[in-house]
Structure formats: structure tokens, C-alpha cells
């Protein structure tokens, strides 16, 4: 049997069919409890994902605001040659090896994109 995974409906049908086959053997004792636990875990996974994405977007917005302020101050200092230029090292220090070790994979990818 050939499965077409190009559209969502085909993927859902495939997963539902396989899930139903797996539950047939244990349905009498654990079927509904297993489905309930699975749904609870899926709900929690979605909630956690949404929270992480929201936090990541807030951090990205904060970084964007900082870059915008830095760019604005650089432009102003170029217009006013007597003004002191801002130090980029004070505002955005390089992370230490301890900080880098604590970053998760997504933060490392974002940091790599940032550079």
C-alpha cells in the first residue's frame, strides 16, 4: 500500500489507522486511559511550544530594539563628529564559555544567525 504524505489528511489517516491497530490489543484494559493520557501530553506539548515561541519572539524583539537604538546612536554620532561614539562591547559582550555551554540548540542557532 502506497501512502501519500504530501497532504495533511493522508498523514492523519495513516497515523489514526496505525494508532487504532496498536490499541486493538490493549483496548479492553487501557484503551481510554491511554488515549486520555496521550491527549493530555499532546496538549501540554502544544502549550509548552507556544510558551517557548512567545518567549523567543520577545527576546528577538528586544534584540531588534537594542540594534535599532545602537544604529540610531551611531548615525547621530556620525552627524555630530564631536560626539562620543558608543561602545558596542559594553552593550553586547561576547558570551563566556559557561554561558555558551548553557545555551540550548535553538539559542545556539539563533546566535549563529545573529553573527
Q: What is the pLDDT of residues 23-47, one digit of tens each?
A: 676 666 676 777 778 888 988 998 9
Going from N- to C-terminal start, the domains of the chain cover: 1-80
SS3 string of 3-29? CCCCCHHHHHHHHHHHHHHHHHCCHHH
Residue with cell 504524505: 5
Asked if the model's pLDDT at residue 78 lies above 60, the reply is: yes
Give pLDDT, residue 16.
Answer: 76
Between 41 and 7, the more confident residue is 41
Between 65 and 29, the more confident residue is 65
Q: What is the pLDDT of residues 54-63, one digit of tens each?
A: 999 999 999 9
Asked if the model's pLDDT at residue 93 lies above 80, the reply is: no
How would you label 21-41 residue by residue, b for 16+ Cβ within 10 Å and e otherwise?
eeeeeeeeeeeeeeeeeeeee
Amino acid at each position: 500500500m502506497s501512502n501519500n504524505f504530501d497532504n495533511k489528511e493522508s498523514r492523519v489517516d495513516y497515523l489514526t489507522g496505525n494508532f487504532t491497530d496498536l490499541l486493538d490489543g490493549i483496548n479492553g484494559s487501557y484503551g481510554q486511559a491511554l488515549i486520555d493520557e496521550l491527549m493530555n501530553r499532546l496538549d501540554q506539548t502544544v502549550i509548552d511550544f507556544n510558551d517557548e515561541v512567545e518567549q523567543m519572539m520577545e527576546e528577538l524583539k528586544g534584540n531588534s530594539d537594542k540594534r535599532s537604538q545602537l544604529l540610531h546612536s551611531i548615525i547621530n554620532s556620525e552627524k555630530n563628529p564631536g560626539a562620543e561614539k558608543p561602545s558596542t562591547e559594553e552593550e553586547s559582550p561576547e558570551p563566556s564559555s559557561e554561558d555558551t555551554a548553557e545555551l540550548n540548540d535553538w539559542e545556539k542557532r539563533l546566535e549563529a544567525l545573529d553573527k
